[in-house]
């Protein structure tokens, strides 16, 4: 079996191999085809998947856009409502303040006091409800800034003492040494909570002191701040404590009648605490008193930056020599607020200059010319934030005095931007006299405020701005008095003074001229509704200023009674216009 | 059943009985495809049994003994062609335990339609492995041979007893006890 034929493969073996090979090739072909089909299917799946992903992405984007739009709309609505409610409220409270300052008659003073406390109560409720709504809408934001707790509590103490219910009460503060001088937190909200607790303590107790304590201890690598507010008042039954921090609840007790409110205060405090990662609670014994406390983790600030001049610094170190004689530029477009602020400034002994909008404020501003700027946020042509930004762009920081923003908006909505453009402090409307004074004093105090270049050689530019001198000019315009009713003139002169009154009248003229134009255009177009609207406005303004005859003409137009007086709407309007010209003639040139 | 088993069985027969014998035995075995097999094909198990029976008849060696011998052969094939099965297996038991848990998992990835037997294992003692072989195919002696070869491969002498499961159908228990 060793010859060559042994190496040859037998026929049957050869055929088996061929068959196996054919089979293997057939299998290979089949598998290739399967693979090809599988690949095709896979590609199809991929395409479908991509399509699905695209569709889902589009859906999600749309949903997101809708949610964002809804959120923006909510936010804007709240800001608008806040503005719309606070502005008239501020005017109301301001006017009451002004009336109280001049009123000698004790009976009237009492009435004014009632009006004032009702207004303050309303203002508190409005603020609570707005805060609460903001939380509901999820647009309540928390800030991180340097907080000086000692100064903050002290300012609350001073403020409470100035309030009616706190005037004869003792608020004692005990702040432990281990409470850091500065820490990071939301000063506004911390202030809101402490102030709320102190006010509650005063409202729910008749006598005894209110003790505010603060301490700190180490906690999970940072510091846990604890603030307690203790009173010796009515106390709270244990069964009631659970309801205390719920929305819209108030505990009925003999003092509740006096302690009006929305029942939102503590609910808001609790939400704020939740928002900043703290806890708030109360220890209380019925009939003996309560200790409300909150704890929140804080980060200690060891190197406060030089710019740490935000809302947290509330110490009231008075500027040397007070604020009398300091110069203030007031940028404000609303006529009522202009009068209010100018009169306030006058009472504070400030020398005030007015800019009707941000652009004018920007034009009027020059280094060394003013010690403080009051900047309304919402103004036509150029808003307060933009004006501030441009002032900051144009001049060096050392040349710019403190800038206070005045706003009736929800503060959170503009706080960030205000800070960015370099607003020194935001004062929320309605602005009571004391609060504004305090804010200006704080801004001008050398400890907390930027020290303005105090009466250094005024730049040449000052001379180019005659407006700066108008504050000293006291025009004598008896003719204006003759045009006004005696009664109105007497009243308004008392409040605004001659110059203020002339200014008011001048505003009236320009505003009315615009309205007359609109009225005439509407009349020509046959839009009786618009005619009546404009006439209504003209009537109101005329009555306020004691232009009785003009008020009557406006009334005739409003009620479509001009025919009875043998005149058309247009004729009556022209008569009104002519009177405005007369009035303009007796006013000092703008 | 995968074609590789058939190809290897015939290779073993050729090595044992010579090509001419294999040619003539296959011709008489009445096989569906005349004994032509490819590694990548699939063939019924009954064919395998037929081949074994044919060689048994030709040689006088019992079918069981041939299956056991083929078990040894296949273990050697695996050692040669699939060394990765053995790489991190410290001993015979580890490899036997991995059949169901690892090797068959891999096989299923390549051949989703493969009909694989089950090997459930249990270790009552460190030197005792109980292996339950469940398969509709009557290949117990083949498994026996593989287990023997596995012990030999790892140089671990032991005793293997094979008993039909008292209750479960198509299930055989292998009790493997190491003697050293």
Q: Which residue of B has its CA nearest to A26?
A: B41
Least CB-CB distance to B40: which of A18, A19, A27?
A27
Asked whether the beta carbons of A342 and A352 are under 8 A apart, the reply is: yes
Q: Do B41 and A23 touch (CB under 8 A)?
A: yes
Mean pLDDT, chain B, whole residue set: 92
Q: Which residue of A has its CA nearest to B35?
A: A16
Confidence (pLDDT) at A414: 66
Query: Whole-angstrom Cα distance, residue A142 to residue A551?
Result: 49
Model confidence at A540: pLDDT above 70: yes
Chain A residues in contact with B33 by the CB 8 A cut-off are 19, 23
Percent of chain A with pLDDT over 70: 83
Interface of B with A in 123-152 (CB under 8 A): none
- Quote the pTM value: 0.39
Chain A residues in contact with B2 by the CB 8 A cut-off are none
Closest approach of chain A CAs to the CA of B23, in angstroms? 7
Least CB-CB distance to A27: which of B20, B26, B41?
B41
Interface of B with A in 58-87 (CB under 8 A): none
Model confidence at A227: pLDDT above 90: yes
Interface of B with A in 98-117 (CB under 8 A): none
Q: Do B33 and A19 touch (CB under 8 A)?
A: yes
Q: Do B19 and A13 touch (CB under 8 A)?
A: yes
Asked if B32 is an interface residue toward chain A (Cβ–Cβ < 8 A), one would say: no
Least CB-CB distance to A24: which of B23, B26, B38?
B38
Mean pLDDT of A374-395: 85
Q: Do B38 and A20 touch (CB under 8 A)?
A: yes
Helix (H, G, I), strand (E, B) or coil at A306: coil
The Cβ of residue A308 has, within 10 Å, a number of other Cβ atoms equal to 16
Q: Which residue of B has its CA nearest to A16?
A: B36
Tokens 């002032």 sit on residue: A391
Whole-angstrom CA distances from A77 to A11, A91, A137, A204 are 97, 21, 10, 35
Confidence (pLDDT) at A2: 47
Chain A residues in contact with B34 by the CB 8 A cut-off are 12, 15-16, 19
Name the nearest CA neighbour of A291 among A215, A183, A393.
A215
Q: Do A27 and B20 touch (CB under 8 A)?
A: no
pLDDT tens column, A493-508: 777 777 778 888 888 8
Confidence (pLDDT) at A307: 36
Mean pLDDT of B1-18: 92
pLDDT tens column, A14-45: 888 999 999 999 999 998 999 999 999 999 99
Asked whether the beta carbons of A374 and A406 are under 8 A apart, the reply is: yes
Chain B residues in contact with A1 by the CB 8 A cut-off are none
Q: Residue B15 — pLDDT band, cuts 50, 70, 90?
A: very high
Mean pLDDT of B114-119: 89
Confidence (pLDDT) at A463: 34
Q: Do B41 and A10 touch (CB under 8 A)?
A: no
Q: Do A20 and B36 touch (CB under 8 A)?
A: yes
Q: Do B38 and A21 touch (CB under 8 A)?
A: yes
The Cβ of residue A417 has, within 10 Å, a number of other Cβ atoms equal to 15
pLDDT tens column, A292-325: 999 998 888 775 443 333 333 334 445 556 778 8
Confidence (pLDDT) at A446: 60
Whole-angstrom CA distances from B128 to A572, B72, B166 are 119, 21, 20
Q: Which of A215-224, A509-518, A549-558 has the lowest mean pLDDT?
A: A215-224
Model confidence at A54: pLDDT above 60: yes
Least CB-CB distance to B40: which of A12, A16, A24?
A24
Confidence (pLDDT) at A128: 78
Query: Whole-angstrom Cα distance, residue A277 to residue B19?
Result: 87
Q: Do B36 and A24 touch (CB under 8 A)?
A: no
Interface test with A, best of B36, B37, B47, B113 (most A CBs within 10 A): B36
Q: Do A16 and B26 touch (CB under 8 A)?
A: yes
* Displacement of CA A12 from its chain's centroid (Å): 101
**For the residues of A452-478, what is the DSSP string, one character each?**
P-TT-S--HHHHH-GGGGTTT-----H
Give the residue, A367 or A477, on which the prediction is more confident: A367
Asked if B28 is an interface residue toward chain A (Cβ–Cβ < 8 A), one would say: no
Chain A residues in contact with B26 by the CB 8 A cut-off are 12, 16
Whole-angstrom CA distances from B41 to A499, B108, B143 are 110, 16, 22
Q: Do A10 and B19 touch (CB under 8 A)?
A: yes
Closest approach of chain B CAs to the CA of A41, in angstroms? 18
Q: Which of A245-259, A296-310, B143-157 has the highest mean pLDDT?
A: B143-157
Q: Residue A590 — pLDDT band, cuts 50, 70, 90?
A: low
Q: Which of A32-46, A123-137, A270-284 has the lowest mean pLDDT?
A: A123-137
Mean pLDDT, chain A, whole residue set: 79
Name the nearest CA neighbour of A329 among A339, A319, A342.
A342
Closest approach of chain B CAs to the CA of A49, in angstroms? 24
Q: Do B23 and A17 touch (CB under 8 A)?
A: no
Closest approach of chain B CAs to the CA of A39, in angstroms? 16
Interface test with B, best of A20, A28, A30, A38 (most B CBs within 10 A): A20
Burial class (CB in 10 A: 0-12, 13-18, 19+), A486: exposed
Q: Which residue of B has its CA nearest to A19?
A: B36
Closest approach of chain A CAs to the CA of B44, in angstroms? 15
Chain B residues in contact with A24 by the CB 8 A cut-off are 38-41
Q: Do A16 and B36 touch (CB under 8 A)?
A: yes
Token pair in block for residue A245? 């921090």
Mean pLDDT of A455-466: 34
Give the residue, A75 or A222, on which the prediction is more confident: A222
Q: Which residue of B has its CA nearest to A17?
A: B36
Token pair in block for residue A495? 């409040």
Least CB-CB distance to B27: which of A12, A23, A24?
A12
Least CB-CB distance to A16: which of B20, B35, B39?
B35
Query: Whole-angstrom Cα distance, residue A344 to residue A332?
Result: 13
Bridge partners (DSSP) of residue B19 are none
Q: Residue A423 — pLDDT band, cuts 50, 70, 90?
A: confident
Model confidence at A9: pLDDT above 80: no
Q: Which of A323-327, A455-459, A553-557, A584-588 has the highest mean pLDDT?
A: A553-557
Least CB-CB distance to A24: which of B34, B35, B41?
B41
Asked if B34 is an interface residue toward chain A (Cβ–Cβ < 8 A), one would say: yes
pLDDT tens column, B49-85: 999 999 999 999 999 999 999 999 999 999 999 999 9
Q: Which residue of B has its CA nearest to A9?
A: B19
Confidence (pLDDT) at B177: 96
Q: Please tell me what DSSP assigns to residue A255.
A: T
């Amino acid at each position: 079996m060793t010859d060559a034929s042994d190496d040859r493969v037998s026929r049957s073996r050869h055929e088996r191999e061929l068959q196996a090979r054919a089979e293997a090739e057939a299998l290979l072909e089949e598998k290739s085809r399967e693979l090809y089909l599988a690949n095709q299917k896979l590609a199809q799946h991929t395409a479908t998947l991509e399509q699905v992903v695209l569709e889902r992405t589009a859906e999600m984007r749309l949903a997101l856009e809708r949610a964002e739009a809804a959120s923006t709309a909510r936010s804007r609505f709240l800001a608008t409502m806040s503005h719309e409610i606070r502005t008239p409220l501020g005017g109301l409270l301001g006017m009451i303040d002004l009336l109280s300052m001049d009123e000698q008659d004790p009976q009237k003073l009492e009435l004014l006091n009632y009006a004032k406390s009702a207004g303050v109560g309303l203002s508190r409720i409005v603020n609570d409800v707005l805060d609460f709504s903001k939380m509901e809408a999820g647009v309540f934001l928390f800030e991180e800034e340097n907080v000086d707790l000692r100064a903050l509590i002290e300012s609350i103490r001073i403020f409470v003492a100035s309030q009616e219910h706190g005037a004869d009460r003792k608020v004692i503060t005990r702040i432990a040494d281990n409470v850091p001088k500065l820490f990071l937190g939301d000063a506004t909200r911390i202030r809101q909570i402490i102030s709320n607790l102190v006010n509650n303590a005063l409202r729910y107790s008749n006598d005894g002191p209110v003790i505010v304590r603060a301490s700190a201890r180490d906690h999970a690598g940072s510091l846990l701040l604890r603030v307690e507010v203790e009173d010796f008042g009515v106390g709270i039954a244990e069964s009631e404590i659970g309801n205390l921090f719920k929305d819209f609840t108030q505990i009925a007790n003999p003092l509740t009648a006096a302690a009006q409110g929305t029942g939102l205060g503590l609910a808001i405090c609790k939400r704020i605490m939740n928002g900043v990662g703290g806890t708030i609670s109360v220890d209380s014994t019925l009939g003996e008193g309560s200790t409300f406390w909150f704890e929140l983790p804080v980060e200690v600030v060891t190197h406060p930056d030089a710019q740490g001049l935000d809302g947290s610094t509330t110490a009231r170190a008075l500027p040397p020599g007070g604020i009398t004689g300091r110069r203030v530029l007031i940028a404000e477009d609303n006529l009522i607020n202009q009068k209010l602020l100018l009169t306030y400034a006058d009472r504070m002994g400030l020398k005030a200059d007015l800019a009707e909008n941000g652009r004018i404020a920007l034009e009027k501003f020059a280094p060394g010319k003013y010690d403080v700027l009051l900047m309304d946020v919402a103004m036509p042509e150029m808003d307060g934030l933009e004006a501030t930004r441009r002032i900051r762009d144009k001049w060096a920081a050392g040349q710019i005095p403190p800038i206070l923003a005045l706003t009736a908006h929800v503060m959170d909505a503009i706080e960030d931007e205000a800070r960015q453009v370099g607003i020194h402090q935001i004062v929320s409307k309605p602005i009571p006299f004391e609060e504004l004074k305090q804010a200006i004093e704080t801004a001008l105090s050398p400890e907390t405020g930027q020290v303005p270049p105090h009466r250094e050689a005024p730049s040449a530019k000052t001379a180019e701005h005659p407006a700066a001198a108008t504050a000293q000019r006291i025009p004598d315009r008896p003719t204006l008095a003759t045009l006004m009713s005696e009664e109105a003139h007497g009243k308004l002169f008392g409040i605004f003074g001659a110059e203020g009154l002339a200014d008011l009248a001048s505003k009236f003229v320009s505003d009315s001229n615009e309205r007359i134009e609109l009225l005439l255009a509407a009349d020509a177009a046959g839009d009786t509704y618009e005619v009546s609207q404009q006439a209504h406005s003209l009537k109101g303004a005329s009555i306020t200023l004691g232009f009785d005859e003009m008020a009557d003409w406006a009334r005739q137009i409003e009620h479509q009674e001009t025919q009875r007086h043998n005149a058309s709407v247009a004729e009556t309007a022209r008569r009104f216009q002519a009177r405005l010209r007369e009035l303009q003639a007796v006013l000092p040139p703008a | 059943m995968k074609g590789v088993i058939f190809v290897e069985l015939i290779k073993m027969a050729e090595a044992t009985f010579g090509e001419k014998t294999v040619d003539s035995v296959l011709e008489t075995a009445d096989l569906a495809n005349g004994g032509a097999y490819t590694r990548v094909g699939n063939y019924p198990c009954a064919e395998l049994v037929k081949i074994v029976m044919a060689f048994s008849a030709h040689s006088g060696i019992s079918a069981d003994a041939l299956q056991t011998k083929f078990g040894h052969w296949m273990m050697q094939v695996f050692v040669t062609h699939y060394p990765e099965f053995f790489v991190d297996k410290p001993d015979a038991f580890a490899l036997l335990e991995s059949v169901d848990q690892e090797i068959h998992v891999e096989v299923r990835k390549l051949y989703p339609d493969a009909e694989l037997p089950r090997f459930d294992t249990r270790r009552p003692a460190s030197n005792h492995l109980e292996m339950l072989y469940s398969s509709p195919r009557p290949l117990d002696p083949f498994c026996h041979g593989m287990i023997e070869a596995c012990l030999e491969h790892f140089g671990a002498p032991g005793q293997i007893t094979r008993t039909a499961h008292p209750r479960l159908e198509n299930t055989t228990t292998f009790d493997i006890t190491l003697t050293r």
